[in-house]
Each structure stands twice: as structure tokens, then as C-alpha cells.
């Protein structure tokens, strides 16, 4: 199948035979066909692509230029691939290099002078080199394009951009290049093949590999460990189980679903000194590489990681994968479990540690589906107008000017844009013309000087996100960081959220800081809520269907007993079936038990909330999860109106209704700002939090249309929501009402955990907060000034003040507390004592100083403490001190409450 040279190198490397992907993939690749190779991680599919390419490159070495492009979605994969291929390339005298955003100017210059035979790069860097004068000449020789981990690109805008980039590349190359896609096992291989190009031969080399998955719910109680780690007993039990599994295995990857969970969990292990580190996308490149190296060399026993470790980064042998909480999707679990037993013939083992009863049920279904190889379908990201705009400008830069019909034909060759109409394309071109990014006439369009800046500033379709520091009002302690999307879409003064395992209430939002106070709010949203991938309909529906037969699923005894007890208790109220909606009514809540998955429930929930709010003339709060939709009414719950929406709304009206309501949402403003940047309507560094005016400026434009399209694509499922409404209205899905004074167990889950929050710490002792407050106040340096004689002033640390300080000159206790730099107040008081005329502003300073002196006269050092707190002046301090506290803790408690009130209300003060 391959040349003798490569066969000899295979023998040197210890390759005894071809793997199945190589056996099935190499022949059609050698024949020059476009090929999609589907195989598990670690099965040798990379070599299936590069061996025949290397064979061909041996005969093309005399031709100057880049003959092969290898495109991978992550820079880390680029680095890994180079290390993997370098040995082969050195032996064969083939030149391979990497190019991405971190490549130095020196290396780029060298590549321009002497191009490699194969360039390993990312989708974004391909966009960067396509217009380059020198690099474009080198790209004319491209014969092969390999897209690694292609399944990771198909469903998002990066993939849509890459598909158009390949068509632009085909305009540059002298030869029609061969396309090779490498993919993990996917649920819709036909869609991936269509994305890759035309006439693609799909090679499914998925082997039956032994896969062992167990869902567990640890119950071992250790109060000492829970106290040591500041976690509840249930979390301590899971940590004990992880430690047991680490002890039984050599190398373990612990996957979590969010970056915050990775940080919180790793911090708990640091306390007990486990040989474990953390790996996620927010960490620096250096830290990630160091962690990977240490794990590969077995200096580290385990890594706690997010999806950053799902792809084929080489970290050596892994003999167990632990998934902390349900992975939410089958494809995620298969990809993650496949990191263990990586080599052929080995068993892939995974343990899912569930954190709640609902989590057990969901994980059990995903485990069964993984064992049965029932993956979710992929769907390409079609007709993204911001991607179209960027690539239309790219074409203009490539060609200087281009006929509209020629450009349209090139763009339509890309599968995600196959249905683009000429009318829509011209509309986008005209919008770009209004933004002064191109010129357009009736038949053609072309580049302008501004085209270049726009194009190169928007090479990436990954949104830039700012981070906000979270600070506790009382202690001024740093709590953690919040992403801009959370701030823009969910954070409001007075709302609550969960971060670092605790619930916090937002007191104020300033620039890049969020001031918070601790709360016990049941409705607190996890700060990482937006990071969670949606649970699909198929999983949620099976969860509802299997509740009476969970013993048939791969769960351990503890998980089985906990789930059965939960379901038995729930059945005393009702047990929702897969083909019904139970409407649970209690207090001011209406909860639809609807097992339709994350996106469908969010769609139906938004629809019902908007229509019912309009009917009753008051806001109805809505939250959804994959199994329930919860509505909170301002007064009595109007469940009949909710049911009326389900039974009477024309399914075809869902989208137009939601388009109207979405425009008024925080989510729309946030998304519009992102899309505006990708269109070049605003600069990348424009102030993000104040972009609401864009909504009015760009109404009825492609930018506005794409914002709606992006929200519907990523957050909702209109089509399947329409199917659910149709089934309700045709009687295929029945509706039952259950009213009670208390929520059912599942109802309680709906209002308290919407997106399971684990590692909720016991509430900190109030004494600890007050102690921190006291230490802060006592460190403050203040100036004491005698209002009686006007001659004496001195600066003190409050801690070292006498209980009732006196003027060192006249002995009076009539002392004002001033800022140590406040000379204006002292001057005003001296003028008053000398009977000199003072201005209105000076009069106010004197009055304020006398009020603080009155408090010092009456309360001494306690007054100094109160007056040194944030936002507390003489008037507020007077109210606090008037309570005549006998205990210091009581005084500090009231000072803390006054500080919190100030933080909540300061934005109204002027």
C-alpha cells in the first residue's frame, strides 16, 4: 500500500501491521479520492492520512512551495502533531513546520523564504496566510489538505469559515487538491462528508472496542474530611472515591463539565496533597504544556480537565477516565472514555460520579447509549451571515475585485452556503458597502484600504470575552471571575448566582468588578451555567421512559438505591412519563415536567413566559432544564394560561413570537455586540457593556438578522418545539395538573438546582466575616482634629486609639474624624472659630465635622470604627451607633449591613 521507504521506517518504529483505519483509509487516499476516515482516538488514523501523503511528497521535493496543509482545530494539537511527525519527516528528508498565532516573526519570515513541504496550521491561520503575497505563491502548489478532528468544526462558525477558506484556496492552487477528513465516531457521517467536499468516500474504521462504563453514587461519610475540605458530606464521599480510584490506577483523567468545577475540585485535592493538577482553556499555554508533560512522564497521577483534553493531545497512557457529573451528551462520553485504554486491544474504562438523583438517571442513560453506540447527529452551521461578510471581503482582497456572480458561485461550493441566494448575498455586500469596507456596483465588488484592517482583525470566529473580578463587600476578598456573557445576560443588581460553591447576591457592577454579598438564595444560577452543553431530546426522553426500570442500566448499587428511593418518593406525588406533561402547581410556581431536553424546553419556556406575561401584565420569571420548565409568578400562579399557550399556539408562530421577545432580552444585546464586531460595525475593543444603542442602529440589517439566527441556532430548537406543540394539540402528548401546598421532589429540583450545582460549601461562620471586617477597619489610618480649639490634629491607626481619645492641647473630647489628607475641613473650622466669613461649601464641611465630633464625644472609638467603613457618613453612623451595642460583634454586624446597603444603592447617589 505504501513505499518501501516508509515500510522500513514502520519496522524501525515497531509497527508490526497496519491498523484498521490505515488498512481501509490508505488505498482510497493513494488513489487521489477525497476521503473521510472515521475511527476512534488512538487508532492510527493520523498515519492513515500522512503515510500516503509522505509517499507522494517524496516525488515532489524538487517543487518549491507548500504541497500539503494539515489543519487542526487547536494550537496544542499542532504542537503535538509536529512532535509526532518530525521523526518520520527527518528520516524521509521532508520539511514540516507549524504556523499559528504564536509563531514568531522570524519563523514566519523563514517560511516565506523557504516554505515547508507540509504546513501544520489552524483554521484561523489559514485565513491569515491566504491573502499574503508571498505565502499565496507557496500555496499554489498545495495538493493535499487534511482536516484533523473535523467533527469539532462542522457545527460552529469556525467550521463555516474554514469551508469558505478552502474554496478560496482552490481559487489559488494550480492543481485541484485532495481533501482528507479525520473524525472521531459521529452520529451523522454523511453530514461531515458533505461538509468536507464533493465526491467524498467515507471510510468507517470504527472497531468494536471493549468499553466499560459504570455510574456510581459514593456514600461513604467522613465528617473530618468534609470539615477539612469545607465541603458537604456527599462531596467528601465523591472525593474519597476519586482517591480510591487513583490508588487503584496508574494514570487517570478526571473530566468535569466547566472550568470553574475544574478549579474548585482541584483546590480540594490540593488541600489533601494529592498528586493532581488542572487543565482547561483559560490557563496559560505554558501551564497547560507543563501539566501535559508531567502527566506523560508520570510525575502527575491525574489531571482534572475540561473538554480541552478530549481531543487527541498526546499525554501518554491513561488507564481510567473519571467523569465528574453527567457528561450531558453521548458523544462527549465516548470521546472522553476513549482517552483510556488508548492503544489497540486495550479496554477503555470510565466511571461517572453522579452528584444528585437526576444526575444518576441522566448519566445512566448516556452510559447505556454510549455502550450501544447511539450518538447524537451533527448538523453544519449553515448561512452564517457574519462569516459570509468576512469571507466576501477576503475574496475581494484575494482578487482585488470580483464579479458578484463569480463570488457567489465560489461561495456556494462550500456546503454550509450551498443554499445562499443571490438576493441575500447582494444584501450583505450592500451592508458592507455602508460600513465602508468594500465598494460595490451592479456587477462586481472590490476591496478598499479599510478592507485589510477589518479582515485581519476578524480572523477568528471565537468571541472575545472579558472577565469580571468578584469581590465580597464585607471582607473585600477576591471570590473568583465571571465571564462577560454571564454579566451581560444574567447578572443584575439584586440577582444571585453560584461561584466557588457558594451563593452570592450582586450588590453592584462597576467597570470590571462585581461587588457581592453572601446569600442562601434557592434560585441562584451557577455562574458557569452558560458553559454547559445542552442535553439532547433523545437523552431526556429516555430518562423519563426508564424511571421504572433503572436496574437495567449500568449503575452501581448505591446509585440504584438512591435513584429508586427518589423515584419512590416522587411517585407519592406523581411520576411523569415520557409521553405526558405534568403541570405541578404550588405557592407562586408552575412547573412543567417536560422531558424534551435543554433546547426544546428553553424554546417552549421562553414562548410561554412571553405570552403569559403579556396576558397578565406582569413579568413571569422562567428557568428551564432538560426535564422541567419552571415559571415563577408575582402572585397567584396562572397555570391555566400556561396550558392555554401549549394547547392553542400555532406551532408556526413560535419563531416570529420569539424573534419579537428576544430583541428585548439581555441575551440579544450581548449577541448583537459580538456579531457587530464580526461584521466590522464596531471595533474589537469597543466598550461592550454599553452597546444597547446598536439594537436601534442596525435594525433590519444582515447584522440584526444574524444575531437572531445565532441565538436560535445555539440556544433554541424551534423545529422540534413545533413538533412538541403539534403532538400536544393532536393528543399524542397529554397534559395533567397536580396542585399541592408543597413541591414534589422533582419540583423542588426545578426551583433549587437548575443546572446541578455541586460542592456547595457550608455557610461560613458569620464570626469569620465580622473578624475580617474588624481587622480591615482597625488598619485604617484617620486624622483626629479638635473642633473645640482648632489647634491640634494627629493621625492614628484606629486599632491604637484610646476608647475615648482627647485633644492633647486643650483636653476636649470634641474630635472630628477626617481623612488624613483633608485640609479643607480644618481650614474651614479654624475660620469659623475666628469668626471669619465662610462659604456655603465650607459651612457644609464644618457641619459634617461637628456631627462626627458629636459621635466621637458620645461613643469614642466605636464611632471611629463606624465612620471608617465604606459609604458610612455621620448620618448613617449615628443610626448604627444609636443601638447602644454592648457587644463588639453586634456593632460590627450593623456596620457590615450598612456597607452592604451602600454597595447596593451607591449607583443612585449623585
Domains of the chain from N-terminus onward = 4-204 (3.40.50.300), 211-371 (3.40.50.300), 467-531 (no CATH), 573-752 (no CATH), 766-908 (no CATH)
Looking up cell 469581590, which residue turns up? Answer: 471
Q: What is the DSSP string of 494-509?
A: T-EEEETTEEEEEEEE
Of 179-188, 289-298, 583-592, 642-651, where does mean pLDDT reach its minimum? 289-298
First to last CA, the chain: 79
Residue 754 pLDDT greater than 50, yes or no: no
Average of per-residue pLDDT across 445-452: 94
Residue 637 pLDDT greater than 80, yes or no: yes
Of 42-51, 527-536, 705-714, where does mean pLDDT reach its minimum? 527-536
* 837-860 tens-digit pLDDT: 888 888 989 998 999 999 999 899
Q: Give the per-residue pLDDT at 688.
A: 52
Residue 614 pLDDT greater than 90, yes or no: no
797 pairs with which residues across the strands? Answer: 781
Q: Give the per-residue pLDDT at 728.
A: 96
* pTM for the model: 0.78
Q: CA 78 → CA 163, 298, 343, distances in Å?
A: 19, 23, 21
Residues 120 and 139: their CA atoms lie apart, in Å, by 13
Burial of residue 627 (number of CB atoms within 10 Å: 0-12, 13-18, 19+): buried
* 460-501 tens-digit pLDDT: 887 766 777 888 877 777 777 777 667 766 666 766 666 655
Top mean pLDDT of 768-782, 841-855, 875-889 is at 841-855
Q: CA 264 → CA 278, 560, 713, distances in Å?
A: 10, 27, 31
Q: What is the mean pLDDT of the chain?
A: 85
Of 82-86, 159-163, 594-598, 644-648, where does mean pLDDT reach its minimum? 82-86
* 520-568 tens-digit pLDDT: 554 555 555 555 789 999 999 999 999 989 999 999 999 999 999 999 9
* 230-267 tens-digit pLDDT: 667 777 888 889 888 988 888 899 999 887 777 777 77
Residue 608 pLDDT greater than 60, yes or no: yes
* 7-45 tens-digit pLDDT: 888 888 888 788 899 999 999 999 999 999 998 877 888
Residues 231 and 756: their CA atoms lie apart, in Å, by 16
Average of per-residue pLDDT across 750-761: 47
254 pairs with which residues across the strands? Answer: 304, 322
Residue, of 500 and 60, whose pLDDT is higher: 60
Of 75-84, 342-351, 428-437, 898-907, where does mean pLDDT reach its minimum? 898-907
Q: What is the DSSP string of 556-617?
A: -HHHHHHHHHHHHHHHTT----TTEEEEEEETTEEEEE--S-HHHHHHHHHHHHHHHHHHHT
Q: Give the per-residue pLDDT at 283.
A: 67
Q: Give the per-residue pLDDT at 909.
A: 43
Q: Tell me which residue of 665, 663, 702 sits closest to 681, measured CA to CA.
A: 702
> What percent of the chain is modeled with pLDDT above 90?
44
Q: Give the per-residue pLDDT at 756.
A: 37
Q: Give the per-residue pLDDT at 506.
A: 81
Average of per-residue pLDDT across 74-85: 76
Of 56-70, 175-189, 623-637, 748-762, where does mean pLDDT reach its minimum? 748-762
Q: Tell me which residue of 147, 352, 388 sits closest to 241, measured CA to CA.
A: 352
Amino acid at each position: 500500500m505504501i513505499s518501501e521507504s516508509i515500510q522500513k521506517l514502520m519496522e524501525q518504529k515497531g509497527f508490526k501491521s497496519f491498523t484498521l483505519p490505515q488498512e481501509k483509509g490508505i488505498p482510497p487516499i493513494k488513489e487521489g479520492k477525497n476521503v473521510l476516515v472515521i475511527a476512534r482516538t488512538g487508532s492510527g488514523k493520523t498515519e492513515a492520512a500522512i503515510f500516503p501523503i509522505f509517499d507522494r511528497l517524496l516525488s515532489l521535493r524538487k517543487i518549491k512551495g507548500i504541497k500539503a496543509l494539515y489543519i487542526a482545530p487547536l494550537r496544542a494539537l499542532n504542537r503535538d502533531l509536529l512532535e509526532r511527525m518530525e521523526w518520520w519527516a527527518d528520516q524521509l528528508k521532508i520539511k514540516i513546520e507549524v504556523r499559528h498565532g504564536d509563531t514568531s516573526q522570524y519563523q514566519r519570515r523563514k517560511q516565506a523564504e523557504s516554505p515547508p513541504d507540509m504546513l501544520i496550521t489552524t483554521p484561523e491561520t489559514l485565513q491569515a496566510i491566504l491573502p499574503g503575497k508571498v505565502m499565496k505563491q507557496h500555496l499554489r502548489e498545495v495538493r493535499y489538505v487534511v482536516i484533523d478532528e473535523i467533527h469539532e468544526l462542522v457545527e460552529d462558525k469556525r467550521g463555516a469559515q474554514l469551508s469558505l477558506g478552502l474554496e478560496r484556496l482552490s481559487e489559488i492552487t494550480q492543481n485541484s487538491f485532495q481533501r482528507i477528513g479525520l473524525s472521531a465516531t459521529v452520529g451523522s457521517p454523511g453530514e461531515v462528508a458533505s461538509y468536507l467536499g464533493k465526491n467524498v468516500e467515507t471510510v468507517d474504521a470504527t472497531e468494536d472496542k471493549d468499553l466499560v462504563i459504570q455510574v456510581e453514587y459514593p456514600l461513604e461519610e467522613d465528617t473530618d474530611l468534609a470539615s477539612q475540605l469545607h465541603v458537604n458530606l456527599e462531596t467528601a464521599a465523591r472525593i474519597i472515591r476519586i482517591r480510591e480510584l487513583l490508588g487503584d490506577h496508574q494514570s487517570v483523567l478526571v473530566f468535569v463539565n466547566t472550568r470553574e468545577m475544574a478549579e474548585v475540585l482541584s483546590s480540594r485535592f490540593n488541600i489533601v496533597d494529592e498528586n493532581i493538577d488542572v487543565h482547561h482553556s483559560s490557563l496559560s499555554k505554558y501551564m497547560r504544556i507543563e501539566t501535559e508533560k508531567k502527566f506523560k512522564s508520570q510525575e502527575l497521577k491525574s489531571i482534572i480537565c475540561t473538554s480541552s483534553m478530549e481531543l487527541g493531545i498526546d499525554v501518554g497512557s491513561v488507564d481510567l477516565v473519571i467523569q465528574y457529573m453527567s457528561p450531558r451528551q453521548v458523544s462527549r462520553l465516548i470521546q472522553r472514555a476513549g482517552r483510556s485504554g488508548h492503544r489497540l486491544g486495550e479496554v477503555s474504562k470510565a466511571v461517572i460520579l453522579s452528584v444528585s438523583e437526576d444526575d444518576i438517571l441522566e448519566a445512566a442513560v448516556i452510559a447505556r447509549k454510549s455502550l450501544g453506540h447511539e450518538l447524537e447527529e451533527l448538523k453544519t452551521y449553515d448561512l452564517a451571515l457574519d462569516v459570509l461578510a468576512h469571507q466576501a471581503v477576503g475574496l475581494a482582497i484575494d482578487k482585488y475585485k470580483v464579479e458578484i456572480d463569480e463570488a457567489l458561485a465560489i461561495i456556494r461550493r462550500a456546503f454550509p452556503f450551498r443554499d445562499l441566494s443571490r438576493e441575500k448575498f447582494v444584501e450583505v455586500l450592500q451592508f458592507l458597502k455602508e460600513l465602508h469596507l468594500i465598494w460595490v456596483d451592479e456587477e462586481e465588488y472590490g476591496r478598499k484600504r479599510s478592507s485589510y484592517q477589518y479582515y485581519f482583525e476578524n480572523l477568528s470566529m471565537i468571541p472575545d470575552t472579558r472577565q469580571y473580578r468578584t469581590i465580597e463587600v464585607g471582607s473585600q476578598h477576591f471570590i473568583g471571575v465571571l465571564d462577560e456573557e454571564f454579566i451581560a445576560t444574567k447578572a443584575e443588581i439584586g440577582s444571585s448566582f453560584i461561584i466557588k460553591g457558594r451563593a452570592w447576591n450582586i450588590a453592584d457592577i462597576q467597570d470590571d468588578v462585581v461587588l457581592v454579598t453572601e446569600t442562601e438564595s434557592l434560585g441562584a444560577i451557577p455562574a458557569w451555567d452558560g458553559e454547559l452543553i445542552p442535553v439532547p431530546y433523545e437523552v431526556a426522553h429516555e430518562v423519563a421512559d426508564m424511571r421504572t426500570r433503572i436496574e437495567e442500566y449500568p449503575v452501581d448499587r448505591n446509585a440504584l438505591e438512591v435513584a429508586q428511593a427518589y423515584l419512590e418518593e416522587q411517585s407519592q406525588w406523581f411520576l411523569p412519563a415520557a409521553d405526558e406533561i405534568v403541570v405541578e402547581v404550588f405557592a407562586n410556581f408552575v412547573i412543567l415536567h417536560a422531558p424534551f431536553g435543554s433546547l426544546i424546553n428553553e424554546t417552549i419556556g421562553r414562548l410561554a413566559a412571553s405570552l403569559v406575561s403579556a396576558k397578565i401584565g406582569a413579568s413571569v420569571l422562567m428557568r428551564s432544564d432538560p426535564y422541567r420548565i419552571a415559571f415563577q409568578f408575582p402572585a397567584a400562579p396562572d397555570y391555566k394560561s400556561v396550558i392555554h399557550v401549549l394547547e392553542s399556539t400555532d406551532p408556526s408562530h413560535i419563531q416570529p413570537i420569539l424573534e419579537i421577545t428576544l430583541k428585548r432580552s439581555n441575551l440579544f444585546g450581548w449577541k448583537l455586540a459580538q456579531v457587530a464586531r464580526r461584521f466590522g460595525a464596531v471595533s474589537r475593543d469597543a466598550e461592550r457593556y454599553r452597546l444597547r444603542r446598536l439594537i436601534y442602529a442596525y435594525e433590519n440589517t444582515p447584522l440584526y438578522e444574524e444575531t437572531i439566527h445565532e441565538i436560535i441556532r445555539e440556544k433554541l430548537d424551534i423545529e422540534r418545539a413545533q413538533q412538541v406543540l403539534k403532538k400536544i394539540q393532536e393528543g399524542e402528548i397529554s397534559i395533567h395538573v397536580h396542585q399541592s401546598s408543597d413541591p414534589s421532589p422533582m419540583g423542588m429540583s426545578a426551583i433549587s438546582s437548575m443546572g446541578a450545582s455541586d460542592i456547595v460549601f457550608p455557610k461560613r461562620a458569620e464570626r469569620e466575616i465580622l473578624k475580617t471586617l474588624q481587622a480591615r477597619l482597625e488598619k485604617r489610618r484617620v486624622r483626629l482634629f479638635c473642633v473645640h480649639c482648632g489647634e491640634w490634629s494627629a493621625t492614628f491607626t484606629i486599632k491604637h486609639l484610646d476608647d475615648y481619645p482627647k485633644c492633647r492641647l486643650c483636653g476636649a473630647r470634641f474630635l472630628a474624624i477626617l481623612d488624613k489628607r483633608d485640609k479643607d475641613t480644618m481650614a474651614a473650622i479654624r475660620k469659623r472659630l475666628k469668626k471669619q466669613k465662610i462659604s456655603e461649601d465650607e459651612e457644609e464641611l464644618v457641619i459634617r465635622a461637628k456631627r462626627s465630633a458629636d459621635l466621637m464625644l458620645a461613643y469614642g472609638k466605636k464611632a471611629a470604627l463606624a465612620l471608617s467603613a465604606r459609604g458610612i457618613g455621620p448620618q448613617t453612623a449615628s443610626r448604627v451607633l444609636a443601638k447602644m451595642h454592648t457587644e463588639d460583634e453586634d456593632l460590627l454586624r450593623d456596620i457590615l449591613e450598612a456597607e452592604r446597603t451602600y454597595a447596593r444603592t451607591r449607583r443612585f447617589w449623585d
